[in-house]
A and B are shown apart, each in its own frame.
Chain A
Amino acid sequence: MLQYAAIVLIMLGLYGILTQRNVIKIILSLNIMEIGLNLFIISVGYVTDGIAPIMTTNHNTNSLIYVDPLPQALVLTAIVIGVGTTALGLAIAKNIYSKYGTFELDEMEEE
């Protein structure tokens, strides 16, 4: 079921990107979409009663049932790239604000 909840989050973010006219809200929608996508990728690798893929003194062999580590590694990459895009988007938003004095795309007027 969690996988479908993640798809709902992705669609919620897409709806936000399509309808919102505020720069900050667009960036927020992008982040919601990204979180949904990350949850979806993580959930693909989940195994019921699986152990986190880290060997410790309690779980000390490779014959135990581990959760799939590959989606987690991919999501680790995706999170970092998400941070980068968010920072770049916020920098653009800050420049827009200092030029037009507003975050609303409709209220911006050409000089």
Chain B
Amino acid sequence: MKNFLALILTLFLGFLIMSSLNNNIAFPKFGEANIGDRVSDAYIDRDVTENPGDVIFGETDGLESGPANIVTAIVADYRSFDTLGEVTVLFVSALGVALLLGTKKQKRLEIDFHPNFMLRVGSKALFGVILMTGIYISIHGHLTPGGGFPGGSMIATSMLLLYLADDNFRAKVKGFKILESIAGSLYVLIGIIGLIIGGSFLVNILDTGVIGELFSAGIIPIVYVLIGLKVGSEISNVIDNFLTEEGA
């Protein structure tokens, strides 16, 4: 009976949403969105205040926002305050996991999984590659797909591989906590420096440089590397919390 009621409710709700979206002028059909009407057009032209000029990859310099990856321009520049809140949410959830699961952790959780020969040997070869790829993705967040969040997740994945490959492995959790606090504090500090010099929080105070070069886009690569380190150490802490338990 309860399942039937839930089915009726979800079908009704789904029908309501679909019928209100269908043939709605404000809602574009799939693939027919007009970017020119939206605020995204200004983001693509890298100019939200004046009449936009041409942006040419590898030539134009001194733009309002310098990364070649437009998504990064939004995440780490135009909506950087939003990203600070997002990092805070991730920090609070990692704190919650530590509060719920963290006691005086001494030993690894005993599970019915023991690494075989292939995993032990393969993890040694793969750990460095995955870690380096994660750092590379964090550093090149303003040029290529990726950025601090995927890069940080890859760093945490390499830690998870070490945990899986060795029954007794434990990361230096204290080091991760220090790294995380330093990265988070530096992010806020960069914002406050922007407030003092540029007049608003997290404003880009450095030269944006030529679009498409590694050393361009001002504070964005710095901020994204900090986010990568913070996310990586946070998720590594969460992994450690899940895989340890009380005991001598």
Contact of B33 among A47, A59, A83 (CB under 8 A): A47
Decide if A60 touches B7 in the complex (CB within 8 Å).
Answer: no
Please give the residue numbers on chain A whose beta carbons come within 8 Å of chain B beta carbons, in ascending order: 1-4, 7-8, 10-12, 14-15, 18-19, 43-48, 52-57, 59-63, 65-66, 68-70, 72-73, 76-77, 79-81, 83-85, 87-88, 90-92, 94-95
Q: Give the secondary structure class of A's interface.
A: helix
Decide if B10 touches A11 in the complex (CB within 8 Å).
Answer: yes
Decide if A14 touches B13 in the complex (CB within 8 Å).
Answer: yes
Q: Among the interface residues A8, A48, A68, which one has the most CB atoms of the partner chain B within 10 A?
A: A68
Q: In the assembled complex, which residues on chain B have CB atoms less than 8 Å from the CB atom of A70?
A: 38-40, 43, 74
Please give the residue numbers on chain B whose beta carbons come within 8 Å of chain A beta carbons, in ascending order: 2-3, 6-7, 9-11, 13-14, 17-18, 21, 27-28, 30-33, 35, 38-40, 43-46, 52, 54-58, 68-71, 73-75, 79, 82-83, 86, 89-90, 92-94, 96-97, 100-101, 143-145, 147, 149, 153, 211-212, 231, 235, 238, 241-242
Q: In the assembled complex, which residues on chain B have CB atoms less than 8 Å from the CB atom of A95?
A: 100-101
The answer for the CA separation of A88 and B235 in the assembled complex, in Å, is 12
- Interchain nearest-CB distance for A103 vs B (Å): 16
Q: A76-B149, A87-B93 are in contact. Are A45 and B40 (CB under 8 A)?
A: yes
Complex: chain A residue closest to B5, CB-CB = A18
Closest 4 CB pairs of A and B: A84-B93, A60-B57, A48-B31, A18-B6
Q: In the assembled complex, which residues on chain B have CB atoms less than 8 Å from the CB atom of A84?
A: 89-90, 92-94
Complex: chain A residue closest to B32, CB-CB = A48
Decide if A62 touches B52 in the complex (CB within 8 Å).
Answer: yes
Decide if A11 touches B149 in the complex (CB within 8 Å).
Answer: no
- Interchain nearest-CB distance for B199 vs A (Å): 24
Decide if B96 touches A3 in the complex (CB within 8 Å).
Answer: no
Decide if A88 touches B57 in the complex (CB within 8 Å).
Answer: no
Decide if B30 touches A19 in the complex (CB within 8 Å).
Answer: no
- Interchain nearest-CB distance for A64 vs B (Å): 9
Decide if B82 touches A77 in the complex (CB within 8 Å).
Answer: yes
Q: A8-B14, A15-B10, A47-B33 are in contact. Are A91 and B71 (CB under 8 A)?
A: no
Decide if B35 touches A66 in the complex (CB within 8 Å).
Answer: yes
Decide if A91 touches B44 in the complex (CB within 8 Å).
Answer: no
- Give 18 A-B pairs besides A55-B211, A83-B90 with Cβ atoms closer than 8 angstroms: A10-B14, A15-B6, A18-B6, A46-B30, A47-B31, A48-B31, A55-B212, A59-B57, A62-B52, A73-B79, A76-B71, A80-B149, A80-B231, A83-B153, A84-B89, A84-B92, A91-B100, A91-B241
Q: A15-B7, A72-B71 are in contact. Are A62 and B33 (CB under 8 A)?
A: no
- Interchain nearest-CB distance for B191 vs A (Å): 17
Q: A45-B33, A46-B33, A61-B56 are in contact. Are A88 and B2 (CB under 8 A)?
A: no
Q: A46-B31, A80-B90 are in contact. Are A87 and B238 (CB under 8 A)?
A: yes
The answer for the CA separation of A11 and B149 in the assembled complex, in Å, is 28
Q: A44-B33, A62-B46, A68-B33 are in contact. Are A7 and B17 (CB under 8 A)?
A: yes
